[in-house]
Amino acid sequence: MKADVVVVGSGIAGLTAAALLTRKGKKVVVVEKQPSFGGSLRQFKRKKISFDVGFHYTGCLGDGEVLDRLWHYCGVDSALSVIPLGVEGYDRFEFTGKPDVVRGYFSYEKIISELKDQYPQERRAIDTYFSEVQRICSTVPFYHTQLPLLPFIRGYKARPTSLIRFLDSITHNEQLRAVLAAPAFLYGVPLQQASLEVHALVAHGYYSGAYTVAGGGQAIVDSFLSVLGTAGAQLFTESSVDSILVEKGQVAGVEIEGGEQIRCQHVIYTGHPATLVDKIPAGVFRPAYIHRLQGLKNSLSMFAVFGKGDRSFDTLKGVLNYYLLPDRGDILPENNTGPRNMRPMMLTSTRTAPLPQELLQEEQNGIILLRLGYWQDVMEFEKSAPADRPEKYERFKDEIAAEMIQTAEQRWGDICGNIEPLAVGTPLTFRDELAAPEGCAYGAMHCLDQFNPDVRTRLPGLLLSGQSTLMTGVAGSSISGLVSAGEILGIESLWEDVRR
Ligand SMILES: Cc1cc2nc3c(=O)[nH]c(=O)nc-3n(C[C@H](O)[C@H](O)[C@H](O)COP(=O)(O)OP(=O)(O)OC[C@H]3O[C@@H](n4cnc5c(N)ncnc54)[C@H](O)[C@@H]3O)c2cc1C
């Protein structure tokens, strides 16, 4: 088989790159190792309830914002119903051992006013924080699409300003610090390692407006698959790329597990960069580059309970997600030594979209609980495969689910009632289901002392893409798909077309 470009992985980065390339007439093949497409955006069903794994909400989908433009250019927007959570929408922050509630609105004006009402002594700190976030993002083309892309991409570096030090310099109010730091939950970096610049890049998207999509992540995946199918791209599941073929010092194709080869001039690899190393012939990458890819520090992981509450609640009516944060100290500690039930936790409903009447009954009681998880929590089971987990691991999972449900029922029982667990995920589940080393929820960390790899590699024709490169999340990974496709098509001209 032959193609111009083989895209390895069908998460949002791979699907975006593939759609842009086919739109420009390239012959594209997408290969996915899992039985279904979509990577972290795939949904699964239990008791007729569809559960999203890696998509609850995103920024950047407002009129003319970067994801809105990108989806329009890719031709997927007409099949998608984007739901703005509105200026009245918010994440509800609560604190262990305290009755206080803070509304984290998806609007600069409203969140600033809420925080000033809650913490009147801290008005100056609040102004400083939000103006700093806006200042940092004022030079970012993804937020200001009139700016050229290339200078930003080539000059992009995680500049070393510590988020913690910045917060120290503006306030000592622990609760306010927890609320300001909370967006770090959306890129999975312990606060000690978080950089103000990355924090601002992620948080600004949500402070500017949050959105979800009817049908969740699966609807996004399906609309890309439909566009790609119509454009003649070839798409294969259960096809794990085992090696990248190299001839005369450049990419010549890929080899799929089982031996089939696809010849091509370009490969875009969207898996975790550390997993690329054993797919490249010896001697192609320099030892220092190999060392760098393999030594990438990973983002934090999570425990997840997918369940059914015995009451229904509609997250679109105001509160989107319920967060329980430790009321003091670091909300995202570096290691797992503290008590598990003090770790931050989130509750959300599967009912984040208006649904047809017949689905309402089933979907409206779906609950997702997410709690911070560490690879160290499950390391003793790392050698086991999904079909072959030891009894002890199953007991550990039950224990974790019971703890999370207990916390949720104590806190939010009046909203969701009693929760029946239908599926439980751990860092091990994420490792095996999402091909995520150490179960990292957001790929390689975008943090203070780590330069994430450039999409260009040392091997001509081989590009990286996905959440471990430029930025994480649905918006960040989509943008990385744009940049990788741009390296083949011409970055600035593609950017021009997309934003036109
Ligand atoms: C629990 C959780 C909640 C999240 N919530 C949100 C949210 O609300 N909002 C948000 O914006 N982001 C959220 N995220 C993050 C977001 O889902 C990801 O950042 C984004 O989807 C990553 O996309 P990607 O294409 O880079 O990678 P992935 O989606 O991981 O896709 C990579 C694909 O490559 C495939 N692959 C890897 N190696 C090979 C190979 N050798 N051969 C073939 N295929 C291969 C994998 O199977 C996978 O399908 C969440 C993540 C998690 C885990």
Question: Which of 37, 237, 270, when mutated, tests ligand 1's pocket best, judged by the most ligand atoms within 8 Å of its CB?
Answer: 270
Question: Is residue 356 in some structural domain?
Answer: yes
- What integer pLDDT is reported at residue 314 of this predicted model? 66
Residue 219: Cβ-neighbour burial (10 angstroms; 0-12, 13-18, 19+) = buried
Which atom of ligand 1 approaches the CA of 37 most closely?
49
C-beta of residue 73 within 8 angstroms of C-beta of residue 202: no
Which residue lies with its CA nearest to atom 53 of ligand 1?
441
How does residue 206 score in pLDDT terms, banded at 50, 70 and 90?
A: very high
Q: Identify whether residues 126 and 181 lie together within a single domain.
A: yes
Report the separation in Å between the CA atom of 311 and the middle of ligand 1, taken as the mean of its atom positions.
Answer: 31
Which residue in the block uniquely carries the two structure tokens 């960390």?
A: 445
Lowest mean pLDDT among 32-41, 360-369, 397-406, 438-447: 360-369
Q: What are phi and psi of 162, to 5 degrees?
A: -75, 130
Amino acid at 358: E
On whether residue 360 sits in a domain, the answer given is yes
Q: Is 39 in the pocket of ligand 1 (CB under 6 A)?
A: yes
Residue 100 is assigned to a structural domain of this protein? no
- Taking residues 254-270, what's their average pLDDT? 97
Query: Minimal CA–CA distance to 341: which of 389, 392, 407, 401?
Result: 407
Q: Is residue 287 part of a domain?
A: yes
Please tell me the residue having the least CA distance from ligand 1 atom 3: 54
Lowest-pLDDT range of 91-105, 179-193, 342-356, 373-387: 342-356
Count of beta carbons in the 10 Å neighbourhood of residue 283: 8
201 and 236 co-located in one domain: no
Distance 209 CA to ligand 1 centre (A): 22
Let me know whether 412 and 453 are in one domain. no
For residue 386, pLDDT over 70 is answered with yes
pLDDT band, residue 363 (cuts 50/70/90): low
Burial of 488 (C-beta count, 10 Å sphere; 0-12/13-18/19+): buried
How far apart CA 59 and CA 475 sit, in angstroms, is 7
What torsion do the CA atoms of 106, 123, 160, 326 make, to the nearest 10 degrees?
A: -70
Note the pLDDT of residue 156. Answer: 59
If asked whether residues 227 and 166 sit together in one domain, one would say no
* 90 domain-assigned: no
Tell me how far the alpha carbon of residue 415 lies from the centroid of ligand 1, in angstroms.
30
Q: What is d(CA 90, CA 103) in angstroms, rounded to the nearest whole number?
A: 6
Residue with tokens 């949904």: 43
Handedness of CA 142, 143, 149, 154 (dihedral sign): negative
The Cα–Cα gap between 333 and 194 comes to 11
Same domain, 193 and 239: no
Task: State which ligand 1 atom lies nearest to the alpha carbon of 465.
Answer: 26
Same domain (yes/no): 289, 161? no
**Which residue bears the tokens 């320099």?**
286
SS3 146: coil
Residues 6 or more apart whose CB falls under 8 angstroms from that of 491 comprise: 149, 150, 153, 483
Domain end point (choices 186, 208, 230): 208
Mean pLDDT of 60-70: 96
Predicted confidence at residue 207, as pLDDT, reads 97
| Interatomic CA distance for residues 41 and 333, integer angstroms | 27
42 CB near ligand 1 (under 6 Å): no
Task: Specify if 101 maps to a domain.
Answer: no
Instruction: Looking at the structure, tell me whether residues 71 and 219 fall in a common domain.
Output: yes
Q: Report CA(96)–ligand 1 centroid distance (Å).
A: 30
Lowest mean pLDDT among 194-198, 361-365, 494-498: 361-365
Q: To the nearest whole number, what is the mean pLDDT of the chain?
A: 94
**Is 50 found in the same domain as 23?**
yes
The minimum-distance atom of ligand 1 relative to the CA of 13 is 25
34 CA to middle of ligand 1, Å? 12
Whether the CA torsion 408, 412, 418, 420 is positive or negative: it is: negative
Measured in angstroms, how far is the CA atom of residue 40 from the centroid of ligand 1? 4
Is 205 close to ligand 1, i.e. is its CB under 6 Å away?
Answer: no
More confident position, 294 or 157: 294
Question: Which residue, among 79, 353, 83, has the nearest Cα to 226 in the 3D structure?
Answer: 79
Residue 111 has pLDDT above 60, yes or no: yes
How many A from CA of 328 to the centre of ligand 1? 31
CATH (domain of 489): 3.50.50.60
Q: Which of 441, 469, 485 is the last residue of a domain?
A: 441
* Cα 436 to middle of ligand 1, angstroms: 8
Q: In angstroms, how far apart are the furthest CA atoms of the chain? A: 66
| Same domain for 284 and 403 | no
Within 8 A by CB and 6+ apart from 28, the residues are 3, 4, 5, 6, 7, 18, 21, 22, 228, 233, 234
- Does residue 309 share a domain with residue 423? yes
Atom 6 in ligand 1: residue holding the nearest Cα = 55
Of 41, 51, 55, 245, the residue with max ligand 1 atoms within 8 A of its CB, to mutate for a pocket test, comes to 55
241/316 same-domain check:
no
- What is the Å distance from ligand 1's center to 470 Cα? 14
Residue 191 located in a structural domain: yes
Question: Quick one: pLDDT at residue 364?
Answer: 65
What integer pLDDT is reported at residue 388 of this predicted model? 92
The residue from 155, 176, 208 where one domain ends is 208
φ, ψ at 14 (rounded to 5°): -65, -45
Atom of ligand 1 nearest to the CA of 477: 26
Q: Residue 178: phi, psi to the nearest 5?
A: -60, -40
In a domain, 184, yes or no: yes
Query: What stretches of 326-444 adopt beta strand conformation (E)?
Result: 345-349, 366-373, 419-425
- Closest ligand 1 atom, residue 476 Cα: 19
First to last CA, the chain: 35
The CA 29 to ligand 1 mean position distance, Å, reads 19
Residue span of the structural domain in which 230 resides: 5-82+214-296+444-499
What total of structural domains would you count in the chain? 3
The answer to whether the CB of 91 is under 6 A from ligand 1 is: no
Average pLDDT over residues 22-27: 98
Q: Give the residue carrying structure tokens 């001839």.
A: 247
Instruction: Check pLDDT > 60 for residue 323.
Output: yes
Which of 147-151, 242-246, 413-417 is most confident? 242-246
